Structure 1
Amino acid sequence: MSPDLPTEARVPDGELTLHGRVLPASNATFVGEVDGVRVVYKPVAGERPLWDFPDGTLAAREVAAHAVSEALGWDVVPPTVLRDGPHGTGMVQLWRDEDPEQAPVDIVREGRVPDGFRHVFDGLDAHDRAVSLVHEDSAPLRRMALFDVVVNNADRKGGHVLPMPDGHRHGVDHGLTFHVEPKLRTVLWGWVGEGLVEEEVDGLRRLAAALDADLGDVLGGLLTAQEVATTRRRLARLLERAEFPAPPSSSYPVIPWPPF
């Protein structure tokens, strides 16, 4: 997909050595290294069966999400490949060290939205105190929210947003994506109804052009034909309306639980 990427921006091809398992995690997730580069490895054999996603497809969906991220040009998803490992074929993704001092998605006391943040919803914490879920109002997070719309991300938790020291934000855990039914569940609802800016429209147009070229074939090798076609329709609808969509008016939950 990206032959011009510098070496440090690719997943190496060498032997994958595991150092430990990430706990807790819904699916088997390991931390390891390839040629001295730290990676995350999620084997297909460790995927927990789900009622609404076909078995054994989550790793391929993560790779497809990275391909879409690359076509957008927004670097939302760290480099991700499908390859063999100690527990069989799985997703291998470059590790990203987040800045623990930053919290792009947060829980605050109700009514106390920090400057530069957007309010999402109010609720009660474990001690029955009134709190609000908020997220920062930043260009990287806006792009991530649009990416989630395109790939129909059913699991954008706050913990799946990695704050980089330089202000960039990476998104991880994209196994629950590309479903043919509307399943967008996200904590990034702060821009509902707002128009897209030129840079965002340009990225979406790049993606549309890529889907008509090599990206369509790449996704066709990772997803079903119906899933690829539905992705095209979601993208076309987003470009036509040129604004952040609102949650659907249905009983389907639009916030992942737990949100972190």
Structure 2
Amino acid sequence: MEATDPAATELLTRGTLDVEGRLVDASNLTLFCAVTLDGVTANAVYKPVSGERPLWDFPDGTLAGREVATYLISAACGLGDVPPTVLRDGPFGEGMVQLWIETADTDLVDVCPADEVPDDWRVVLHAHDADGRPAVLAHADHPGVRELAALDVVVNNTDRKGGHVLHGADGRVYGIDHGICLHTDPKLRTVLWGWIGQPLPDDVIGKLDKLRFDLDHDLGSTLAEHLTTDEIRALRDRCDALLADGTFPAPGEDWRALPWPLF
């Protein structure tokens, strides 16, 4: 099933979940599942709340709820592509269920030798590899990646690793793993810093305007199921600040700007 299929959310919400394996690289319990409804089957990721490790700086709500909230924000205004994501009961209790994305063989974020950066990529960081050779962290100059960079600013993504940017087999760019987003304090850590100081594209501004309107209406009420009042207020403030400035921001000076590990 395609992520753009209107039936995807219904499948994830009402379908029968069958756990087929565990993604062992994830820091919290993350299960690979098949989900079936009315003869239609798709793959999905299931992250039960019972498998979450407590985080001292995210004491409110759940990581699963923050994943759902980020999807709702993206879906409401069309900013970035987050796979359909719901909160529901499963074999290990309530958790986040997200449609599995089949990916293409091309990367959108990479660490490569300094003289091998593709011409159409944006450099984020110059460094050295384990052998002391010059290396570069860079990402594709792609509209889908750029929209994810803007979404990360809005949701205050604390952990946008390179592996969380997927080049879908359908040609779209998807962002995943949004469990530690939407804090009230500035915590933006991302590998997508390639547009610092660049003007926001008109289409991104239009989507941010829609988001800001929606936050004062139905979306704000829906997010209250997953976020605190202060977190929703901070979300509005970040949206206002980004619209007022009109450019992609630079990293703050009070926190580490890159996630670790990078992938």
Q: Please indicate the TM-score interval, normalised by the length of the shorter structure.
A: over 0.9
Match of 2:113 in 1: 109
1:133 aligns with one of 103, 116, 137: 137
Per-residue deviation at 1:12? 4.3
Question: What letter matches 2:114 in structure 1?
Answer: E
Per-residue deviation at 1:168? 1.3
Match of 1:210 in 2: 214
In 1, Cα distance between the equivalents of 2:77 and 2:191?
A: 21
Match of 1:60 in 2: 65
- SS at 2:137 equivalent: strand
Give yes or no for the alignment of 1:7 onto 2:11: no
Q: 1:14 to 1:219 in 2, by over 3 A?
A: same
2:44 aligns with one of 39, 44, 57: 39
With structure 1 as the length reference, what TM-score do the two structures score? 0.94
Per-residue deviation at 1:50? 1.6
Per-residue deviation at 1:124? 2.2
Give yes or no for the alignment of 1:155 onto 2:155: no
Per-residue deviation at 1:72? 1.9
Q: Given that residues 184 and 231 in structure 2 are in contact (C-alpha distance below 8 angstroms), is that contact kept between their aligned partners in structure 1? A: yes
2:229 aligns with one of 225, 230, 240: 225
Match of 1:28 in 2: 29
Match of 1:79 in 2: 84
Per-residue deviation at 1:5? 6.3
Per-residue deviation at 1:75? 4.9
- SS at 2:260 equivalent: coil
Q: 1:126 to 1:9 in 2, by over 3 A?
A: farther
1:13-52 Cα distance to aligned partner (Å, 9 max, x none): 1221100000111000000011122110000010112221
- SS at 1:231 equivalent: helix
Per-residue deviation at 1:57? 1.1
In 2, Cα distance between the equivalents of 1:89 and 1:12?
A: 12
Percent identical among aligned pairs is 49
- SS at 1:185 equivalent: coil
Match of 1:184 in 2: 188
Q: Given that residues 61 and 227 in structure 2 are in contact (C-alpha distance below 8 angstroms), is that contact kept between their aligned partners in structure 1? A: no
Q: 1:56 to 1:214 in 2, by over 3 A?
A: closer
1:258 aligns with one of 253, 258, 261: 261
Deviation larger for 74-83 or 141-150: 74-83
Q: Given that residues 196 and 250 in structure 2 are in contact (C-alpha distance below 8 angstroms), is that contact kept between their aligned partners in structure 1? A: yes
Question: What letter matches 1:7 in structure 2?
Answer: A
In 1, Cα distance between the equivalents of 2:60 and 2:49?
A: 9
Uncovered stretches (5+) of structure 1, i.e. residues with no partner? none
Deviation larger for 7-16 or 18-27: 7-16
1:177-232 Cα distance to aligned partner (Å, 9 max, x none): 00011000000000000001111100101111111111000111110000000000
In 1, Cα distance between the equivalents of 2:192 and 2:209?
A: 22
Match of 2:103 in 1: 98
Q: Given that residues 61 and 178 in structure 1 are in contact (C-alpha distance below 8 angstroms), is that contact kept between their aligned partners in structure 2? A: yes
1:44-69 Cα distance to aligned partner (Å, 9 max, x none): 01011222111661000000000001
Question: What letter matches 2:245 in structure 1?
Answer: R
In 2, Cα distance between the equivalents of 1:9 and 1:15?
A: 13
Question: What letter matches 1:25 in structure 2?
Answer: A
In 1, Cα distance between the equivalents of 2:212 and 2:200?
A: 16
In 1, Cα distance between the equivalents of 2:83 and 2:136?
A: 29
Q: Given that residues 8 and 84 in structure 2 are in contact (C-alpha distance below 8 angstroms), is that contact kept between their aligned partners in structure 1? A: no
Question: What letter matches 1:121 in structure 2?
Answer: L
In 1, Cα distance between the equivalents of 2:56 and 2:130?
A: 28
